[in-house]
Amino acid sequence: MIDYRTNRNFALAVDARDPLAKYRERFHIPKTKIGEDCVYLCGHSLGLQPKSARAYIEQELLDWERLGVDAHLRAKNPWQSYHEILAPPLARLVGAHPGEVVAMNSLTVNLHLMMMTFYRPTPKRHKILMEASAFSSDQYAVKSQIKFHGYDPETSLLELQPRAGETTIRSEDIDALLEEKGDEIALILLGVVNYYTGQAFDIKHITQAGHARGCMVGFDLAHAVGNLPLSLHDWGADFAVWCSYKYLNAGPGSVAGCFIHERHAQDCDLPRLAGWWGHNKAKRLLMEPDFEPIAAAEGWQLSNSPILSFAALKASLDIFDEVTIRKLWVKSRVLTGYLEFLLKQFAGDMLTIITPADKNQRGAQLSLRVKNDGGALFQALLARNFICDWREPDVIRVAPVPLYNTFLDVYRFAGAVRGSL
């Protein structure tokens, strides 16, 4: 437990003895007009570029240049099997076996693919349980799946609401809802860290409770992967999906990920949407008419892979492997705790932090609700080169990312909030 102080020297001293401080050097920090580092606290939205990403991508451009189509087999990282080298580091991040994860598509596409397999509504059990005001894309995907199966979101979508006057969801309310309606729920789908409030859910508990009621349980890790240590395999989740451009720093629109628990991944009889890249690898190029899925998460792949995007992801995953998510998480808790401490000291009566104060119920993000004009505060911060983001209707999201943010960043941000208010 660290005894936080409000003076600048405290921030400098903690940075000086932070064993992870050196990793900031591995990233491009956006610059102000006069060439100084911005205070970038927006890794929950778009992670910064690893300096190594360029060389990783250039390697693929070079192999394409020199080898053309032969690069599928002869590139330094042969393109045909490139996704296989991404599986072990991704598996380490989400706590899975390599056969349970695959890098493919984008998040929302993967969510649809997973629902095609795991949302099998029947007249008795046709509901999907998700957080009220989940990320828009998840809501659209879920509602469209419900309609696709001939049901009505009015009756088939169940939303978890915070209690009146509260902003986050209580674990006991999830339990009570499962107790009451579990038999009608086909699928539980939650964001492990809610994009708006920053609340992290207890995946292990929810998975067990959901399974006890016969529900499928899937997770959206958009704001959790690269942020919190995860153990999807041991927790028993049925599936999970994530994007890689937030805490994973793989660049805008970069290739997403998908986890399918072994007990399903190896089941070649599961219904799914199929494409040639999910077909038995030994026979892929035989162009036979009948689909024979790979008995792993790879069996859900549709198309051949976006190699340039893979290269950017690999650059980032290599850094995660070097640092390890455990160490990042240790720093993250101290760093986010420091932000919370300073905001309370400097601006406690002007703003509320709606993210849970319990460190086990959050990651790197704090969501701030400002008493008066939050939009004006956000604009004032932006004008001073503090990069965070604004989410309608009234929240400023701030994420000190342990890979590249410093205690001084946090100190300067909290000081700017005080100054701007």
Ligand X SMILES: *Cc1c(COP(=O)(O)O)cnc(C)c1O
Where along the sequence are the contacts to ligand X (CB under 6 A)? 106-108, 135, 137-138, 191, 195, 220, 222-223, 243
What are the tokens at 120?
């099998």
CB nearer to ligand X: pick between 259 and 346: 259
d(CA 348, CA 31): 30
CB nearer to ligand X: pick between 23 and 245: 245
Cβ of residue 137: shortest distance to ligand X, in angstroms?
Answer: 4
CB nearer to ligand X: pick between 156 and 244: 244
Name the strand (E) or helix (H) holding 352: strand 351-353
CB nearer to ligand X: pick between 48 and 243: 243
CB nearer to ligand X: pick between 137 and 352: 137
d(CA 182, CA 178): 4
Residue with tokens 């999830």: 174
Cβ of residue 37: shortest distance to ligand X, in angstroms?
Answer: 25
Kindly give the pairing relationship between strand 157-160 and strand 127-131.
parallel
Cβ of residue 177: shortest distance to ligand X, in angstroms?
Answer: 20
Helix 407-420 / helix 325-347 crossing angle, nearest 10 deg: 20
Cβ of residue 240: shortest distance to ligand X, in angstroms?
Answer: 12
Cβ of residue 141: shortest distance to ligand X, in angstroms?
Answer: 8
d(CA 210, CA 231): 17
Ramachandran area for residue 236 (φ above 0: left; ψ -120 to 50: alpha; else beta): left
d(CA 190, CA 219): 5
Look up residue 326 and give its amino acid: R
Cβ of residue 42: shortest distance to ligand X, in angstroms?
Answer: 12
Cβ of residue 273: shortest distance to ligand X, in angstroms?
Answer: 16
Instruction: Quote the DSSP letter at residue 77.
Output: S
Smallest CA-to-CA distance from 193 within 169, 171, 222, 168 is with 222
- Using alpha carbons, list the distances in angstroms from residue 289 to 275, 298, 303: 11, 19, 16
CB nearer to ligand X: pick between 11 and 366: 366
CB nearer to ligand X: pick between 178 and 243: 243
